[in-house]
A = this chain, B = another copy of it.
Amino acid sequence: MAKSIRKKLTERVTITDVAHTAGVSKTTVSRYLSGQYHILSENARNRIQEAIRELNYRPNQMARGLKQDRSYLIGMVIADITNPFSTAILRGAEDVCKQRGYSIMVCNTDNDPAKEREYIFMLQSRRIDGLLINTTGRNNQFLRQLAEEHTAIVLVDRKVPELGLDTVGVDNELSTKEAIRFMINRGYEQIAFFTEPLEGVSTRQERANAFKDILIQYGFPVADLYEADLQQAEPLLKQLERFLESSREGKRAIFAANGVILLKLIHALKHKGLRIPDDVAIAGFDEMEWTDLIGPGITTVSQPTYQIGVTAMERIFRRLEGDHSPSQNIAFAGKLIIRGSTPSVKGL
């Protein structure tokens, strides 16, 4: 009887309920919800407003999205969510989304192409409007598919030229060259470059190539480019030892291709009882909250991470608004922050 009907009715408040209590049709309420106030009478507007308040109504986004073929959802696929670099980007991206009423769904892949694929499928099922991805580069086929379904995709940090998508990141060549040139000018005679495996990751490749180029340009031998797999600590330690054995104290320096490997290297140096910069100088990509606190301060290349997130998300919205211009590669300048970990070599 009445009791059970009421129960059913109050279970979830729908647009129909609002229409009833306001004494208008669903259509009119819908118009109110989408902000088309100018075609509503003041009377209707007020009564709807009152009804919504009274019933504490919140429109169902799934119903809305279904009909409009829009989810107001952006996917963000990140290799490692605990990496401060990633979260700074996320922060920027999130701020832009919030402002527009979009929400971000985070997906953590651990650089695993299989996980990445699963997430792409899931996001596809959710009909995301946009995707911001730090890709493994192994699921290009599926990304292309997504792009064909009108999802606006922006690659962050890592490029995949064959996809022809917008990318946002830092100018790796420029920044790496600036940093290595700086170290050469400071008098270091042997510089090692440590990176995670290059295969398939454009960012790492660009930095490694810039390193090689600049060494060649200055007539240095390119002997110390180390690709370390960080899953196990051993390889990195071994490679570090190899470098230290082959080089002379006071004349050598290490450059880390990103913040993760920079941290690992500093750990390894501490573990071996080596001092910065006396035993070895060090610098690397990614400014982090602790880089000025360790020893004499670590020289780093700072990326405008928040800005990268903001810009990437803005490109997504530009695309969603119908911009069909050719894809852009947006590269911000990195900033070299010089600290005590890379002093001038004695005797210069």
| A53 contacts B by Cβ under 8 Å | no
- For the complex, give the distance between the alpha carbons of A75 and B103 in Å: 10
Asked if A28 CB lies within 8 Å of chain B CBs, one says: no
CB contact between A290 and one of B91, B98, B104, B290 (< 8 Å): that residue: B290
Shortest Cβ gap from A65 to chain B (Å): 5
Interface residues on chain A, number (Cβ under 8 Å): 51
**1/0 per position for A85-121, CB-CB distance to B under 8 A?**
0011011001100100101111110000001001101
Question: What does the 1/0 interface line of A43-80 toward B look like (CB < 8 Å)?
Answer: 00000000000001011111101100101010000000
Q: Count this chain's copies in the assembly.
A: 2
B289 x A61 contact (CB < 8 A): no
> Nearest chain B CB to A300's CB is how many angstroms away?
13
Residue of A58, A71, A81 ringed by the most chain B CB atoms within 10 A? A58
- Which of A88, A103, A122 counts the most chain B CB atoms within 10 A? A103
- Convert A209-243 into 0s and 1s, putting 1 for each residue whose CB lies closer than 8 angstroms to a CB of B: 00000000000000000000000000000000000
What are the interface flags for A157-198 relative to B under an 8 Å C-beta threshold, 1 for contact and 0 otherwise? Answer: 000000000000000000000000000000000000000000
Kindly list the 9 A-B residue pairs having the minimum CB-CB distance in the complex, ordered from nearest: A290-B290, A62-B66, A62-B62, A62-B65, A61-B125, A61-B126, A103-B105, A58-B125, A58-B124
Give A residues with C-beta under 8 Å from B.
12, 56, 58-63, 65-66, 69, 71, 73, 81-82, 84, 87-88, 90-91, 94-95, 98, 101, 103-108, 115, 118-119, 121-122, 124-127, 145, 149, 263, 266-267, 270, 288-290, 292-294
